[in-house]
Structure 1
Amino acid sequence: MFTIGCHLSTTKGYAAMGRQALAIGANTFQFFSRNPRGGKAKAMDEKDVKQFLELAGANGIEIILAHAPYTLNACSADGGIREFAISTMEDDLRRMEYTPGNFYNFHPGSHVGQGVEAGVDYIAAMLNQLLKPEQTTVVLLETMAGKGSEIGRTFDELKLILDKVELKDKMGICMDTCHVYDAGYDIVNDLDGVLEEFDRIIGLDKLKAIHINDSKNPFESHKDRHEKIGDGTIGIAAMERIINHSALRQLPFFLETPNEIEGYEKEIRILKELRK
């Protein structure tokens, strides 16, 4: 099965997101766990959750992905910002258990001059504090483009975090095609080589989801600006290879391209046509 979806607004709740996904030809979706700039999340509506779970079960929505707010920086030099990250993720993971068995994705953060080692230690400490044996949610570290002092620009940096996490079965990786290309992994000309490197360093069993985005910037630019599918420097031919690759095709793909809902519907249709 080709599991494909896009980023949707949580404004109207889980059931509304599920219906909107189905209406545009998707069978999964991503959403922000709360305002992407941070702040308090809306109270959970158990009736809405029940309606969504029934809708998902009846229509083959097997997995969804929550995205942490961009302001979550577990490795900041500022203790207050780190505490915000911990309290936010703790609340998010509690809320995720209303829809069990899904994914929660976050940007590892920026060490802001402290160095990668210190940043990795902070991130791993947060995860070791928050992850619970009984949780059903898998937490995903996202591959990053490498702007500024971002951690996660290389597979090795992500591996450093994973190695320090105690409950390893609760962890995985979300690969963003725009980010890895901007970071210097040539998924256009050497997709096999990139995936072989990922497997050698982290292990393909840890790759749980794909953010399928084109890039506005050239290879190894270390920037992070998504482009619509086929309109960027990665291109449509590379996208076709990515969604059909034997190591990736069973994973869920999530669009985060600069689109309104009609644009996402068009891109989902294009990707379905490219699927072999």
Structure 2
Amino acid sequence: MLNIGCHLSSSKGFKNMGENALKIGANTFQFFTRNPRGSKAKDIDEKDVKEFLELAKENNFGKILAHAPYTLNPCSADDRNREFAIEIMKDDLNRMEYIPHNLYNFHPGNHVKQGVEAGIEYIVYAINSILKEEQTTKVLLETMSGKGTEIGRNFEEIAEIIKGVSLKDHIGVCLDTCHIHDAGYDIVNELDKVLDEFDRIIGLDKLCAIHLNDSKNPFKSHKDRHETIGEGYIGLDAISNIINHPRLCHLPFFLETPNELEGHKREIELLKGVYKW
């Protein structure tokens, strides 16, 4: 069964997101833990959480993916910005335990001319500050496109972060198809080669989720602009190869394409139509 969903608004709670996922044929979803451009989070409604967990169990939902706000930069040059990122991520992980055994994704950050090595040290410190042995949530580093001073532009940078993490069982990777295409990994023509490289450098056992996005920009553009499935430079054939690949087909896939619910519904129907397992 294809485990697929899209990004949904969390403004009306978990049960609402679950119901919207079912309306579009999804069996999982991604959501922001709080305002994506700020830091404010809604209070947890335990009744809503309980109803969602029952809904998810009844409908065989896969793991859902929480996304940290874009404003966080755990490798900022500013001390307070780094502290703020750690505070928010700690709070997010505490809140995630209301919906245990799911996934939490974040962008590694921008080193802002401090250099990659310094940036990675800060990211490792942040991760080691937030992880607890007893947590059930797995924290995922997202692969990035390489614009500006982003860290995570290649598999080596992700691997170096993981190397420094103490509780390695609690860390994984979310691979974004648009990002790695724009970063220079040829998933259109050499998917097997890219996966071999990921396995050699990071380990496919660390790959826990995929952001399934087409790209508005050509290969190796370092731009990061998502496109609707089949309408960009990656294309439907390559996307089909990804969701059907025997090393990837078991993973949850999350659409972050420029669409409303009806558009995501059409994309999910399209992807189910080409899914072979």
TM-score by length of 1: 0.99
Deviation of 1:90 (Å): 0.6
1:232 is aligned to 232
Q: Deviations over 1:178-200 (max 9, x none)?
A: 00000000000000000000000
Alignment partner of 1:130 is 2:130 = yes
Q: Deviations over 1:50-71 (max 9, x none)?
A: 0000000101013100000000
2:253 is aligned to 253
TM-score by length of 2: 0.99
- Matched residue SS, 1:267: helix
Amino acid in structure 1 at the alignment position of 2:257: T
Q: Deviations over 1:38-92 (max 9, x none)?
A: 2220110000000000000101013100000000100000111111101110100
Asked if the contact 2:32–2:67 (Cα under 8 Å) also holds between the matched residues in 1, the reply is: yes
Matches of 1:135 and 1:72, distance apart in 2: 21
Matches of 2:63 and 2:253, distance apart in 1: 11
Q: Which runs of 5+ in 1 are unaligned?
A: none
Matches of 1:72 and 1:38, distance apart in 2: 9
Matches of 2:116 and 2:76, distance apart in 1: 11
Matches of 1:62 and 1:99, distance apart in 2: 12
Matches of 2:39 and 2:154, distance apart in 1: 30
Alignment partner of 1:82 is 2:75 = no
Q: Deviations over 1:193-237 (max 9, x none)?
A: 000000000000000000000000000001110000000000011
Matches of 1:243 and 1:61, distance apart in 2: 18
Matches of 2:94 and 2:123, distance apart in 1: 19
Amino acid in structure 2 at the alignment position of 1:228: T
Deviation of 1:261 (Å): 0.6
Which 4+ stretches in 1 moved above 4 angstroms? none
Amino acid in structure 2 at the alignment position of 1:79: D
2:262 is aligned to 262
Alignment partner of 1:96 is 2:61 = no
2:169 is aligned to 169
Amino acid in structure 2 at the alignment position of 1:179: H
Deviation of 1:4 (Å): 0.4
Q: Which runs of 5+ in 2 are unaligned?
A: none
Matches of 1:258 and 1:2, distance apart in 2: 21
Matches of 1:213 and 1:62, distance apart in 2: 19
1:210 is aligned to 210
2:34 is aligned to 34
Deviation of 1:5 (Å): 0.3
Alignment partner of 1:220 is 2:220 = yes
2:24 is aligned to 24
Percent identity for Structure 1 against Structure 2: 68
2:8 is aligned to 8
2:110 is aligned to 110
Amino acid in structure 1 at the alignment position of 2:229: I
Aligned residue pairs: how many? Answer: 276
Matches of 1:109 and 1:62, distance apart in 2: 28
Amino acid in structure 1 at the alignment position of 2:20: Q
Q: Deviations over 1:234-276 (max 9, x none)?
A: 0011011000001100000000000011100000000000101
Matches of 1:85 and 1:20, distance apart in 2: 30
Q: Deviations over 1:7-49 (max 9, x none)?
A: 0000110000001101110000000010001222011000000
Asked if the contact 2:67–2:105 (Cα under 8 Å) also holds between the matched residues in 1, the reply is: yes
- Matched residue SS, 2:29: strand
